[in-house]
């Protein structure tokens, strides 16, 4: 999606786009029985991503990311 199209999309369209990109997050949040559980699942997911970003033995697709990209990803997930 281009930056210009993001600016002109409605909130509903942006939400739908987000769910298409992160369908596993939608499933994870929808399966939670409470807000507290959803929050815990989401933070566990973010912690798992961070572990894989900086694990030299990671088998995830982002194992070959440049260190600057990893740091940007880490910064984005905590801000």
Contacts for 11 with CB less than 8 Å, ≥ 6 apart: none
Residue 53: other Cβ atoms inside 10 A: 19
Confirm if 32 and 41 have CB atoms less than 8 A apart: yes
pTM of the model: 0.53
pLDDT in tens, 28-71: 888 999 999 999 998 998 888 777 766 666 566 666 667 677 67
């Amino acid at each position: 999606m281009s930056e210009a199209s993001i600016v002109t999309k409605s909130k509903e369209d942006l939400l739908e786009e987000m769910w298409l990109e992160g369908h596993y997050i939608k499933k994870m949040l929808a399966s939670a029985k409470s807000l507290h559980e959803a929050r815990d699942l989401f933070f566990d997911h973010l912690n798992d991503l961070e572990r894989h970003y900086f694990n030299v033995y990671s088998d995830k697709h982002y194992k070959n990311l440049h260190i600057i990209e990893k740091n940007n990803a880490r910064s984005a997930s905590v801000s």
